[in-house]
Amino acid sequence: MTSNKLFFVTKPSSGSRTSFAFGTGVVTLIVLCLPIWIAAAAGGPRPLQIYFVDVEGGQSTLFVAPGGQSLLIDTGWAGNNSRDAGRIVAAAKSAGISRIDYVLLTHYHADHSGGVPELAAKIPIGAFIDHGPNREQSTATEQVFEDYEKVLADKGIQRITAKPGDVLPITGFHAVVVSADGVVLDGPLAGAGATNPACNTPEKLPADPSENQRSLGTVITYKKLRILDLGDLTWDKEMKLMCPVNKIGRVDIFVVSHHGSATSDSDALVDAISARVAIMDNGAIKGAYPDTWLRVRNAPGLEDLWQLHTAEQQAGDPQVHNVPDQFIANLSGPDTGNYIKVLAWSDGHFDVVNSRTGTTKQYPVR
Protein backbone atom coordinates (compact mmCIF):
# COMPACT_ATOMS: atom_id res chain seq x y z
CA MET A 1 0.00 0.00 0.00
CA THR A 2 1.25 3.47 -0.77
CA SER A 3 0.53 6.13 1.77
CA ASN A 4 -0.01 9.82 1.39
CA LYS A 5 3.10 11.01 -0.44
CA LEU A 6 2.70 14.67 0.42
CA PHE A 7 5.68 16.32 2.03
CA PHE A 8 5.21 19.79 3.37
CA VAL A 9 8.35 21.79 3.72
CA THR A 10 8.53 23.70 6.98
CA LYS A 11 12.10 24.89 6.69
CA PRO A 12 14.58 25.42 3.90
CA SER A 13 17.40 22.90 3.93
CA SER A 14 20.33 24.39 5.76
CA GLY A 15 22.00 21.46 7.45
CA SER A 16 23.67 23.29 10.31
CA ARG A 17 24.24 20.78 13.10
CA THR A 18 24.64 23.46 15.74
CA SER A 19 21.27 24.94 15.09
CA PHE A 20 19.56 21.57 15.43
CA ALA A 21 21.58 19.96 18.14
CA PHE A 22 21.64 22.78 20.59
CA GLY A 23 18.60 24.76 19.70
CA THR A 24 20.33 28.05 19.01
CA GLY A 25 18.27 28.35 15.85
CA VAL A 26 14.99 29.54 17.34
CA VAL A 27 13.27 29.53 13.99
CA THR A 28 14.36 25.97 13.40
CA LEU A 29 12.93 24.77 16.68
CA ILE A 30 9.70 26.63 16.10
CA VAL A 31 9.05 24.95 12.78
CA LEU A 32 10.05 21.50 14.05
CA CYS A 33 7.67 21.86 16.99
CA LEU A 34 4.87 23.30 14.86
CA PRO A 35 2.64 20.20 14.70
CA ILE A 36 2.75 19.84 18.50
CA TRP A 37 2.09 23.51 19.10
CA ILE A 38 -0.80 23.59 16.68
CA ALA A 39 -2.37 20.64 18.48
CA ALA A 40 -1.75 22.16 21.90
CA ALA A 41 -3.13 25.54 20.83
CA ALA A 42 -6.25 23.83 19.56
CA GLY A 43 -6.65 22.07 22.90
CA GLY A 44 -5.88 18.75 21.25
CA PRO A 45 -3.81 15.92 22.63
CA ARG A 46 -0.03 15.98 22.52
CA PRO A 47 1.82 13.14 20.78
CA LEU A 48 4.33 10.58 21.94
CA GLN A 49 7.66 11.91 20.67
CA ILE A 50 10.44 9.57 19.57
CA TYR A 51 13.88 10.97 18.72
CA PHE A 52 16.26 8.79 16.72
CA VAL A 53 19.43 10.55 17.80
CA ASP A 54 22.38 10.33 15.43
CA VAL A 55 25.18 8.63 17.34
CA GLU A 56 27.17 7.78 14.23
CA GLY A 57 26.46 4.09 13.84
CA GLY A 58 25.40 3.31 17.40
CA GLN A 59 21.94 3.53 18.91
CA SER A 60 20.14 6.09 20.99
CA THR A 61 16.36 6.43 20.82
CA LEU A 62 14.46 8.75 23.17
CA PHE A 63 10.74 8.23 23.89
CA VAL A 64 8.87 11.06 25.61
CA ALA A 65 5.22 10.48 26.48
CA PRO A 66 2.62 13.26 26.27
CA GLY A 67 2.80 13.57 30.07
CA GLY A 68 6.59 13.93 30.03
CA GLN A 69 7.54 10.38 31.10
CA SER A 70 10.69 9.30 29.29
CA LEU A 71 12.63 6.23 28.21
CA LEU A 72 15.98 6.30 26.46
CA ILE A 73 17.07 3.15 24.66
CA ASP A 74 20.88 3.17 24.61
CA THR A 75 23.35 6.00 24.98
CA GLY A 76 25.62 5.84 21.93
CA TRP A 77 29.38 6.07 22.20
CA ALA A 78 31.73 7.68 24.67
CA GLY A 79 34.27 10.24 23.56
CA ASN A 80 34.41 12.85 20.81
CA ASN A 81 34.04 15.52 23.48
CA SER A 82 30.83 13.88 24.80
CA ARG A 83 29.28 14.23 21.35
CA ASP A 84 26.56 11.58 21.79
CA ALA A 85 25.60 12.56 25.35
CA GLY A 86 25.35 16.16 24.12
CA ARG A 87 23.04 15.19 21.27
CA ILE A 88 20.82 13.16 23.62
CA VAL A 89 20.54 16.03 26.09
CA ALA A 90 19.72 18.40 23.22
CA ALA A 91 16.93 16.05 22.11
CA ALA A 92 15.64 15.84 25.69
CA LYS A 93 15.54 19.64 25.94
CA SER A 94 13.78 19.86 22.60
CA ALA A 95 11.20 17.39 23.91
CA GLY A 96 10.71 19.52 27.02
CA ILE A 97 12.30 17.27 29.66
CA SER A 98 15.19 17.92 32.04
CA ARG A 99 15.62 14.36 33.36
CA ILE A 100 15.34 10.88 31.83
CA ASP A 101 13.16 8.52 33.86
CA TYR A 102 14.56 5.25 32.47
CA VAL A 103 17.64 4.44 30.44
CA LEU A 104 17.42 0.97 28.89
CA LEU A 105 20.69 -0.60 27.77
CA THR A 106 20.07 -3.20 25.10
CA HIS A 107 23.58 -4.65 25.61
CA TYR A 108 27.06 -3.60 26.65
CA HIS A 109 28.78 -2.91 23.35
CA ALA A 110 30.44 0.50 23.18
CA ASP A 111 28.14 1.86 20.46
CA HIS A 112 25.11 1.31 22.73
CA SER A 113 26.32 1.69 26.32
CA GLY A 114 29.69 3.40 26.02
CA GLY A 115 28.13 6.81 26.60
CA VAL A 116 26.62 5.99 30.02
CA PRO A 117 29.12 7.91 32.19
CA GLU A 118 29.03 11.02 30.00
CA LEU A 119 25.24 11.02 29.83
CA ALA A 120 24.89 10.51 33.60
CA ALA A 121 27.19 13.50 34.11
CA LYS A 122 24.94 15.71 31.96
CA ILE A 123 21.35 14.84 32.95
CA PRO A 124 19.60 13.19 35.93
CA ILE A 125 18.58 9.56 35.32
CA GLY A 126 15.82 7.86 37.32
CA ALA A 127 16.77 4.21 36.75
CA PHE A 128 18.63 1.94 34.39
CA ILE A 129 17.15 -1.19 32.81
CA ASP A 130 19.40 -3.97 31.48
CA HIS A 131 19.56 -7.67 30.61
CA GLY A 132 21.79 -8.67 33.52
CA PRO A 133 25.58 -8.92 33.77
CA ASN A 134 27.93 -8.75 30.83
CA ARG A 135 29.03 -12.21 29.73
CA GLU A 136 31.28 -11.25 26.83
CA GLN A 137 34.97 -11.65 27.44
CA SER A 138 36.42 -8.75 25.52
CA THR A 139 38.39 -5.94 27.06
CA ALA A 140 36.29 -3.20 25.47
CA THR A 141 32.94 -4.66 26.54
CA GLU A 142 34.16 -5.50 30.04
CA GLN A 143 35.27 -1.89 30.40
CA VAL A 144 31.87 -0.56 29.30
CA PHE A 145 30.15 -2.78 31.87
CA GLU A 146 32.59 -1.78 34.61
CA ASP A 147 32.03 1.92 33.84
CA TYR A 148 28.25 1.37 33.95
CA GLU A 149 28.46 -0.36 37.35
CA LYS A 150 30.57 2.52 38.63
CA VAL A 151 27.93 5.06 37.57
CA LEU A 152 25.25 2.99 39.34
CA ALA A 153 27.30 2.85 42.53
CA ASP A 154 28.59 6.44 42.50
CA LYS A 155 25.21 8.02 41.80
CA GLY A 156 23.05 5.48 43.65
CA ILE A 157 20.86 4.98 40.61
CA GLN A 158 18.32 2.14 40.68
CA ARG A 159 19.07 -0.82 38.40
CA ILE A 160 16.30 -3.02 37.00
CA THR A 161 17.17 -6.28 35.27
CA ALA A 162 14.40 -7.31 32.88
CA LYS A 163 13.46 -10.62 31.32
CA PRO A 164 11.15 -11.58 28.46
CA GLY A 165 7.50 -10.95 29.31
CA ASP A 166 8.27 -8.18 31.82
CA VAL A 167 6.34 -4.95 31.40
CA LEU A 168 8.57 -1.96 32.08
CA PRO A 169 7.44 0.28 34.95
CA ILE A 170 7.19 3.38 32.75
CA THR A 171 3.82 5.09 32.46
CA GLY A 172 2.54 7.09 29.49
CA PHE A 173 3.01 4.18 27.09
CA HIS A 174 3.37 0.40 27.32
CA ALA A 175 6.69 -1.39 26.91
CA VAL A 176 7.05 -5.18 27.10
CA VAL A 177 10.33 -7.09 26.95
CA VAL A 178 10.56 -9.71 24.21
CA SER A 179 14.24 -10.70 24.42
CA ALA A 180 16.93 -10.45 27.08
CA ASP A 181 20.20 -12.20 27.95
CA GLY A 182 19.85 -14.63 25.05
CA VAL A 183 16.30 -15.70 25.96
CA VAL A 184 13.18 -14.78 23.99
CA LEU A 185 9.47 -14.80 24.76
CA ASP A 186 8.04 -18.23 25.62
CA GLY A 187 4.79 -17.57 23.81
CA PRO A 188 3.22 -14.96 21.57
CA LEU A 189 2.14 -11.52 22.68
CA ALA A 190 -1.60 -10.83 22.73
CA GLY A 191 -2.92 -10.84 19.17
CA ALA A 192 0.20 -12.52 17.78
CA GLY A 193 1.04 -16.21 17.23
CA ALA A 194 0.28 -16.77 13.55
CA THR A 195 2.34 -19.38 11.72
CA ASN A 196 5.21 -17.60 9.98
CA PRO A 197 5.60 -18.69 6.35
CA ALA A 198 8.98 -16.95 6.11
CA CYS A 199 10.37 -19.65 8.42
CA ASN A 200 10.12 -22.26 5.66
CA THR A 201 13.22 -21.22 3.80
CA PRO A 202 15.38 -19.50 6.33
CA GLU A 203 19.01 -18.92 5.58
CA LYS A 204 20.84 -20.49 8.49
CA LEU A 205 23.46 -18.46 10.32
CA PRO A 206 25.54 -19.84 13.18
CA ALA A 207 24.74 -18.93 16.78
CA ASP A 208 26.28 -15.62 17.77
CA PRO A 209 28.38 -15.83 20.96
CA SER A 210 28.64 -12.06 21.47
CA GLU A 211 26.67 -9.57 23.55
CA ASN A 212 24.51 -8.83 20.51
CA GLN A 213 22.41 -11.98 20.95
CA ARG A 214 21.70 -10.96 24.57
CA SER A 215 20.07 -7.69 23.42
CA LEU A 216 17.14 -6.49 25.52
CA GLY A 217 14.37 -6.14 22.94
CA THR A 218 11.04 -4.39 23.49
CA VAL A 219 7.68 -3.84 21.87
CA ILE A 220 6.43 -0.36 22.71
CA THR A 221 2.76 0.46 22.27
CA TYR A 222 1.17 3.90 22.36
CA LYS A 223 -2.54 3.90 21.57
CA LYS A 224 -2.73 2.00 18.24
CA LEU A 225 0.95 2.38 17.34
CA ARG A 226 3.37 -0.53 17.88
CA ILE A 227 7.14 -0.12 17.68
CA LEU A 228 9.71 -2.94 17.71
CA ASP A 229 13.28 -2.38 18.91
CA LEU A 230 15.51 -5.44 19.28
CA GLY A 231 18.84 -3.65 19.69
CA ASP A 232 21.49 -5.73 17.93
CA LEU A 233 19.70 -9.08 18.30
CA THR A 234 21.19 -11.55 15.84
CA TRP A 235 19.80 -14.05 13.38
CA ASP A 236 19.56 -17.24 15.45
CA LYS A 237 17.64 -15.47 18.23
CA GLU A 238 15.35 -13.89 15.64
CA MET A 239 14.52 -17.46 14.56
CA LYS A 240 13.63 -18.42 18.13
CA LEU A 241 11.45 -15.32 18.43
CA MET A 242 9.71 -15.61 15.07
CA CYS A 243 9.56 -19.35 14.24
CA PRO A 244 7.53 -21.40 13.80
CA VAL A 245 5.02 -18.79 14.94
CA ASN A 246 5.39 -15.02 14.96
CA LYS A 247 5.40 -14.13 18.67
CA ILE A 248 5.55 -10.37 17.97
CA GLY A 249 2.70 -9.82 15.52
CA ARG A 250 2.62 -6.85 13.18
CA VAL A 251 4.20 -3.52 14.05
CA ASP A 252 3.94 -0.03 12.62
CA ILE A 253 7.54 1.08 13.14
CA PHE A 254 10.60 -1.17 13.10
CA VAL A 255 13.87 0.09 14.51
CA VAL A 256 16.06 -1.89 12.13
CA SER A 257 18.12 -4.36 14.15
CA HIS A 258 21.90 -4.08 14.45
CA HIS A 259 22.11 -0.98 12.21
CA GLY A 260 21.20 -3.17 9.22
CA SER A 261 24.21 -5.49 9.62
CA ALA A 262 24.60 -8.75 7.71
CA THR A 263 23.82 -11.00 10.71
CA SER A 264 20.41 -9.56 11.65
CA ASP A 265 17.06 -8.67 10.03
CA SER A 266 16.23 -12.12 8.63
CA ASP A 267 13.26 -12.60 6.32
CA ALA A 268 11.58 -14.48 9.18
CA LEU A 269 11.67 -11.27 11.20
CA VAL A 270 11.16 -8.47 8.69
CA ASP A 271 8.53 -10.22 6.57
CA ALA A 272 6.40 -11.31 9.52
CA ILE A 273 6.30 -8.02 11.41
CA SER A 274 5.13 -6.25 8.23
CA ALA A 275 6.21 -2.83 9.44
CA ARG A 276 4.92 0.30 7.68
CA VAL A 277 8.04 2.30 8.44
CA ALA A 278 11.57 1.11 9.18
CA ILE A 279 14.21 3.41 10.65
CA MET A 280 17.82 2.33 10.28
CA ASP A 281 20.37 3.77 12.70
CA ASN A 282 23.27 3.17 10.36
CA GLY A 283 26.46 5.20 10.15
CA ALA A 284 28.15 6.27 6.96
CA ILE A 285 30.31 3.13 7.02
CA LYS A 286 28.38 1.05 9.60
CA GLY A 287 25.41 -1.20 8.92
CA ALA A 288 23.15 -0.83 5.86
CA TYR A 289 24.72 -4.01 4.52
CA PRO A 290 23.47 -4.36 0.93
CA ASP A 291 21.62 -7.70 1.31
CA THR A 292 20.13 -6.63 4.64
CA TRP A 293 19.06 -3.27 3.22
CA LEU A 294 17.23 -5.14 0.43
CA ARG A 295 15.49 -7.52 2.87
CA VAL A 296 14.26 -4.61 4.97
CA ARG A 297 13.27 -2.39 2.02
CA ASN A 298 11.47 -5.20 0.21
CA ALA A 299 9.62 -6.55 3.25
CA PRO A 300 5.88 -6.83 2.59
CA GLY A 301 3.87 -3.84 3.75
CA LEU A 302 6.81 -1.49 4.10
CA GLU A 303 5.90 2.01 2.96
CA ASP A 304 9.18 3.78 3.71
CA LEU A 305 12.65 3.10 4.97
CA TRP A 306 14.37 6.03 6.68
CA GLN A 307 18.15 6.13 7.27
CA LEU A 308 20.19 8.16 9.73
CA HIS A 309 23.04 8.29 7.21
CA THR A 310 23.76 7.88 3.55
CA ALA A 311 25.52 4.51 3.36
CA GLU A 312 28.95 4.73 1.72
CA GLN A 313 30.30 1.86 -0.31
CA GLN A 314 32.66 -0.27 1.78
CA ALA A 315 35.48 -2.54 0.69
CA GLY A 316 34.05 -5.81 -0.56
CA ASP A 317 30.54 -4.47 -1.14
CA PRO A 318 29.52 -5.08 -4.74
CA GLN A 319 27.07 -2.21 -4.45
CA VAL A 320 25.47 0.06 -1.92
CA HIS A 321 21.82 0.95 -1.49
CA ASN A 322 20.25 4.16 -0.24
CA VAL A 323 16.75 5.58 -0.10
CA PRO A 324 16.07 8.97 -1.74
CA ASP A 325 17.73 11.87 0.08
CA GLN A 326 14.54 13.17 1.68
CA PHE A 327 14.42 9.99 3.79
CA ILE A 328 18.03 10.40 5.02
CA ALA A 329 18.92 12.55 8.04
CA ASN A 330 22.63 12.94 7.30
CA LEU A 331 24.03 13.00 3.77
CA SER A 332 27.61 12.27 2.78
CA GLY A 333 30.09 14.90 3.81
CA PRO A 334 30.76 16.71 7.08
CA ASP A 335 29.12 15.24 10.19
CA THR A 336 25.87 17.13 10.71
CA GLY A 337 24.25 15.17 13.57
CA ASN A 338 20.67 15.47 12.35
CA TYR A 339 17.97 13.32 13.92
CA ILE A 340 14.77 11.65 12.76
CA LYS A 341 11.72 12.21 14.93
CA VAL A 342 8.42 10.35 15.08
CA LEU A 343 5.28 11.98 16.47
CA ALA A 344 2.65 9.40 17.38
CA TRP A 345 -0.83 10.84 17.77
CA SER A 346 -3.64 9.43 19.85
CA ASP A 347 -5.86 8.68 16.84
CA GLY A 348 -3.22 6.28 15.47
CA HIS A 349 -1.67 8.40 12.73
CA PHE A 350 1.98 9.33 12.99
CA ASP A 351 4.44 11.74 11.46
CA VAL A 352 8.11 11.26 10.63
CA VAL A 353 10.23 14.40 10.71
CA ASN A 354 13.65 14.77 9.10
CA SER A 355 15.50 17.43 11.10
CA ARG A 356 17.95 18.04 8.24
CA THR A 357 15.28 19.24 5.86
CA GLY A 358 12.54 20.22 8.29
CA THR A 359 10.10 18.12 6.27
CA THR A 360 7.40 15.94 7.77
CA LYS A 361 5.68 12.95 6.23
CA GLN A 362 2.33 11.95 7.63
CA TYR A 363 1.23 8.32 7.85
CA PRO A 364 -2.55 8.07 8.10
CA VAL A 365 -4.24 5.46 10.27
CA ARG A 366 -3.96 2.06 8.57
Residues found near Zn ion in the complex (CB under 5 A)? 111, 232
**Closer of 94 and 215 to Zn ion (Cβ):** 215
**Closer of 246 and 257 to Zn ion (Cβ):** 257
Give the shortest CB-112-to-Zn ion separation in angstroms: 5
Question: Can you list the positions of beta strands (E) in the chain?
Answer: 7-9, 48-52, 61-64, 70-73, 100-104, 125-130, 158-161, 174-180, 183-184, 217-222, 225-229, 253-255, 277-280, 304-309, 328-330, 340-344, 350-354, 359-363
**Closer of 196 and 212 to Zn ion (Cβ):** 212
**Closer of 83 and 349 to Zn ion (Cβ):** 83
**Closer of 57 and 66 to Zn ion (Cβ):** 57
Give the shortest CB-179-to-Zn ion separation in angstroms: 15
Give the shortest CB-334-to-Zn ion separation in angstroms: 23
User: Which of 95, 102, 92 minimizes the C-alpha distance to 72?
Assistant: 102
Give the shortest CB-325-to-Zn ion separation in angstroms: 25
**Closer of 34 and 205 to Zn ion (Cβ):** 205
From residue 240, alpha-carbon distances to 62, 188, 202, 266, 281 in Å are 28, 11, 12, 12, 24
Give the shortest CB-274-to-Zn ion separation in angstroms: 24
Give the shortest CB-316-to-Zn ion separation in angstroms: 20
> In terms of residues, how long is the chain?
366
**Closer of 57 and 164 to Zn ion (Cβ):** 57
Read out DSSP for 92-143? HHHTT-SSEEEEE-S---HHHHTTHHHHHHHS-EEEEEESSS-----HHHHH
User: What is the DSSP secondary structure assignment for residue 14, as one 8-state letter?
Assistant: -
Rounded Cα distance between 31 and 152, Å, is 38
Chain mean position to CA 221: 14
Give the shortest CB-281-to-Zn ion separation in angstroms: 8
